[in-house]
Amino acid sequence: MNTEEKLELMKVMFNPKNIAVVGATDNIIKIGSFVLGSVLSCGFTKKIYAVNPKPRYNNKKIMGIDVYPTLAQCPEKIDLVGIVVPPNKVVDSIKQAIENDIRAAVIITAGFGEVKTEDRQDENKELVNVAEKGGLIFVGPNSMGIYSSEDKTSPLHLGFGFMIPASGNISIVSQSGTMGTVLCNALQNIRYFVSSGNEASLILEDYLAYYAQDEQTKVITLFVEGLRAGSRFKEICTAITKKKPIIFLKAGITKSGARAASSHTGSIAGSLDIYKSVFKQTGVIHAEQLTELIYLTKGAEYLLPLPKSDPLRAGIISGGGGFVVHLTDLCEKNGINVVDLTTVPNGPQLIEEISNHLPFYWSRNNPVDLVATRDFDLYKKITELMLKSECFDIIITLTSSGFIETIKSLKPVNDYGKRMLAIMKQVMEQRLEKSIKDEIDLCLKYPDKKIIYIGFSSGFTNPVYEQYDKNKIMVFGGNPELATVVLRKLHDYQKFVNMKDQ
């Protein structure tokens, strides 16, 4: 089957008119129950059929869904089938799908290419041969499924990861289902997600080609153990990165990791140096750890395009001196210019404007230390002065929004401490809503400027940061080190795109 034919079938796979789950069950500890529950809980509103031949399901329902003994007995032609049956039943299920003119499947079941025994390898070959002869494409096997919000009125999660994403513009391929679930939960704004598993039929490069042609996909994120079509990957990335960023985390870079990758998905890990060479040539953004992958993905969506200044000109503002000193070091290490206000146009004027609001002993330069002021409104006033000055491309500052979480984590040892904590909570909760509004309003008022917030609270699913995410505002939860790394890598990507456009 050629690429064009696969892409046409993938249109059905990512936006089916209906689905069937073969192996659906009412036994809540089995995967067949989880998969059916995922379809329902993520909001799929089109027709769903449960398929299970066991006599006890005759004329029954599972989770309110009608059960049929075979695909042939479903009352209409099925667009997409999810297969959650024992390994020795998978090939027969695929044969039945083909006999009923079904051309797309998601195979959740494991026990094929990743198992090195002769019988399982033979079964894997038969599965591939049967599907190819029948003109059927499939995800997996050994997959945790797919998610698609192509139809936002009926998002589909045909899988069993613990996730309920919101629709958005990020498209993900992960050769690990668990890592993919982590990404979906942390990022939320998902267009497509595929747990590609063993890639016996559709491979990562096929999904990449599909995302490339999708106008609603703005950022592509990949968690990869090994590629099966390296030259094709390079060709696709060369074309894609001019239009949309690709963020790539490579797993299996050590001998032990490569061995683990082979037993996990049957992939060949390959040399990291070779991958880095491809990234440099194609403009793919390389993440070196999972947290960085998540922040790079958010940053690609929220911060790009970055200003063309080289290096980027940063302004830093904080209530404490130690933080700004550390952040200044990190900026310099990552090639970001912490602007010396005494040497740039408008700089001396900005110093005098800030001096009208701060004690005489403030540093009178950038970074701006608010010298532990108790005036919460000064953050907004001085940040806005910095934004108006035209001295900076980006402003890096602390957000007060997560401070309440820090206060809640305190554990007083006596009654006096408990009373003090209660007062602190009351004061901060009163301030919190206004602080969040002020910080978000600044970003919306100056959309061409880039404001990056460093939060006291860590955690990607922290509800305190949800309002920032809704407005595509970047918050690094408790991690200033990654803020500067992400900026450097996104700026390098921006320079790559600018150079290609010349």
The pTM of the full predicted model, rounded to 2 decimals, is: 0.92
Q: 193 near 147, Cβ under 8 Å?
A: yes
Q: Which long-range contacts (CB under 8 A, 24 or more apart) does 344-348 make?
A: 344/391, 345/390, 345/391, 346/389, 346/390, 346/391, 347/389, 347/391
3-300 and 306-501: same fold?
yes
Which letter does DSSP use for residue 402 in this model? Answer: T
pLDDT of residue 264: 47
Q: How far apart are CA 124 and CA 107, in angstroms?
A: 12
Question: Do residues 135 and 111 lie in contact, with contact meaning Cβ atoms separated by under 8 Å?
Answer: no
pLDDT given at position 117: 83
Q: What is the pLDDT of residue 455?
A: 82
Are 425 and 408 spatial neighbours (Cβ–Cβ below 8 Å)?
A: yes
Closest-CA residue to 47 (of 67, 15, 78, 18): 18
Please give the pLDDT value at position 22.
Answer: 98
Which pairs from 306-309 meet CB under 8 Å and 24+ separation? 306/393, 306/394, 306/450, 306/487, 306/490, 306/491, 306/494, 307/393, 307/394, 307/450, 308/494, 308/498, 309/393
Give the model's pLDDT for residue 270: 59
Phi, psi of 404 (to 5 degrees): -60, -35
Q: What is the model's pLDDT at position 434?
A: 82
> What are the structural domain ranges in the chain?
3-300, 306-501
CB 142 within 8 A of CB 198: yes
- pLDDT < 50: residue spans in the chain: 264, 268
Q: Domain 3-300 belongs to what topology?
A: Rossmann fold (3.40.50)
In this prediction, residue 190 carries a pLDDT of: 97
Q: Which amino acid is at 245?
A: P
The pLDDT, as a whole number, for residue 466 is: 85
Q: Is 72 helix (H, G, I), strand (E, B) or coil?
A: helix
Of 87, 86, 66, give the one whose Cα is nearest residue 20. 66
3-state per-residue secondary structure call for 276-311: HHHHHHHCCEEECCHHHHHHHHHHHHHCCCCCCCCC
Classify the C-alpha dihedral 373-377-381-384 as positive or negative: positive
- 306-501 folds as Rossmann fold (3.40.50)
Residue for token digits 């936002």? 152
